[in-house]
Amino acid sequence: MESYTLTTSSISYTKPLSPLLLTAEQPSYILRNISLTSHPSQILAIVGPSGAGKSTLLDILAARTSPTSGSIFLNSIPLNPSSYRKISSYVPQHDDFFHLLTVSETVTFSASLLHPKNPSNVSNAVSSLLKELNLTHLAHTRLGQGLSGGERRRVSIGLSLLHDPVFLLLDEPTSGLDSKSAFDVVQILKSIATSRQRTVILSIHQPSFKILSLIDCMLLLSKGTVVYHGGLDSLEGFLLSKGFTVPPQLNSLEYAMEILDDLHDPCTNSNIALPDHSPRNKNQNAAKPSIVRYRASRITEISLLSRRFWKIICRTRQLLLTNILEALLVGLVLGTIYLNIGTGKEGIEKRFGLFAFTLTFLLSSTTQTLPIFINERPILLRETSSGLYRLSSHILANTFVFLPYLLLIAIIYSVSLYFLVGLCPSWQAFAYFVFVIWIIVLMANSFVLFLSSLAPNYIAGTSLVTILLAAFFLFSGYFISKESLPKYWLFMYFFSMYKYALDALLINEYSCLLNKCLVWFDEASVKSCLVTGSDVLDKKGLREKQRWFNVYVLLGFFVLYRVLCFLVLIKRVSGSKR
């Protein structure tokens, strides 16, 4: 197996200036003239206090951020970021998982996508990896229950090892862990580096002496510049050369951290290993590793993602039962309130109110999935940015799973309501009613999915959903007619999801009452019909032939919000790669 050496030469990074600033502000340096070398089978630790630039440097070494100046080399060849990402793995500081999945299910999912042509070997690969990470006894434990912080961190590391990367980069892997868990994590990283002959680069605030014994090389940063680059055994000599003697009660790194400001020299870099700019060997393949971007086919991706979605939905029992019981109980309550609604003048008004409340309930009830979508987003961004699967496969799998699930909700609500109220006594009308209710909840689901991709957090997402749904309802024609709206607000009438859904339900109901007299004039032996079903539709500006037009518009909203979600997530994924 060919070995790879990663080197940097005088890389700097400045904080981007705001385009709104009109003055010639000097750039703010986060990193300045960083040169380093990392070797196979070794751990390189980037050490320094908060604000030293550790995470920024790690992002640059992971090809997530481009340096403002300087060069990065892989085996003395200028690094190709897109190719380099395929032979490296980045482990973020925070562990994001689906808490309802087990350790084995989480690792198996990623392994199945990375090794789709050898499904029989996936189980063996997962078992071997869990054994290497000392997680075998936790294989069937859910990630949200019974795992310590160190064990969760090991799962994150395991996921990054599935495609056997040449470079493993970790941001603060010991952050938030107790001393034993932190040591266990670094000990496993040391084992990976030596047994697999891989390069491990990690950032760490201030390692303990036990952890230091596992680190081969360190890069000590202060205010964005290199103070020292080398092994722990050479650090004491370096300090002596600077005129500092290590006290007997401290190790050399602890003392160096205490006098960091005295060691800091923004103009020089000490003990820096510079890259060897030797000609490229013809057998080297560092610039363009022959690794496929997506290893699984789209069908395989959608199948595996759909299975994972179903597991999560079925295990989210509280939400599952809430949705089913909510649809059933609300349908029954409305059915008993509007029991045998009749077809007179009062019945006309009640139908309008019933349909308006139905829409309010159906659209607002889907906001329950907002926190689920928002919590899922970091996992989605991590998996898609690493090339595990296509973002479009995620959107399609999500759609395929929610189609039958929301159809079940639509059927439960419709059956519990329709016949009690005494709506149009036609099986065709009932089937259309169920179909429209299904399209409404699908559209609402897409709407919430889109806003969850857009909102920075749950509170902002809830506010967006509430404001927009209120606006859609206000401009639906229920409170104020189209003719009464100011011209500058007329566009909202046509953008309102409520309008088309309400029109579809009204047309379906009164289409079977077109020629039936709903209100009679009966006085002095003179009896004549005042209002028919056709008159009700005419008053609302509706026609029976518009029955499917409204459905097509609702389907258009359903597709539109999913496409918008896809575009927002593409932007977020590219941002996570930077």
What is the chain's pLDDT, residue by residue, as a tens digit (578 residues)?
Answer: 568 899 999 999 988 665 555 455 566 888 999 999 999 999 999 998 888 899 999 999 998 888 999 999 999 899 988 888 888 999 998 888 999 999 999 999 999 998 887 777 888 889 999 999 999 999 999 998 888 999 999 999 999 999 889 999 999 999 888 999 999 999 999 999 999 999 999 999 888 889 999 999 999 998 889 999 999 889 989 999 888 888 988 888 888 888 888 877 655 444 444 444 333 333 334 444 334 467 789 999 999 999 999 999 988 888 888 899 999 999 999 999 999 887 777 888 888 889 999 998 998 888 888 888 998 999 999 999 888 999 999 999 999 999 999 999 999 999 999 999 989 889 999 999 999 999 999 999 999 999 999 998 889 998 999 899 889 888 888 788 888 888 889 889 888 888 999 999 999 988 887 778 876 655 555 567 778 878 888 888 888 888 899 999 999 999 999 999 999 999 988 876 65
Q: Of 173, 168, 228, nearest to 200 (Cα)?
A: 168
Helical (H) or strand (E) element with 521: strand 517-523
Q: Of 218, 212, 186, nearest to 54 (Cα)?
A: 218
For 409-419, b/e burial (b = at least 16 CB within 10 A) is bbebbbbbbbe
Spatial CB neighbours of 337, under 8 Å, sequence gap ≥ 6: none
Give the phi and the psi of residue 327 in degrees, each rounded to 5: -60, -40
Q: Which strands sit side by side in the sheet containing 69-74, from one edge to the other?
A: 28-38, 6-15, 69-74, 77-78
Number of neighbouring beta carbons within 10 Å of residue 428: 11
Q: What is the Cα–Cα distance from 153 to 59, expressed in whole angstroms?
A: 19
Name the CATH topology of 6-97+163-263: Rossmann fold (3.40.50)
* Residue range(s) in the chain whose domain bears CATH number 3.40.50.300: 6-97+163-263
Classify residue 331 as exposed, middle or buried by CB count within 10 Å of its CB (0-12, 13-18, 19+).
buried
Q: What is the Cα–Cα distance from 510 to 348, expressed in whole angstroms?
A: 10
Structure tokens of 523? 């006085």
Is residue 515 within 8 Å of 506, Cβ to Cβ? no
Structure tokens of 78? 């200028």
Is residue 437 within 8 Å of 413, Cβ to Cβ? yes
Query: Which amino acid is present at 385?
Result: S
Is residue 568 within 8 Å of 450, Cβ to Cβ? yes
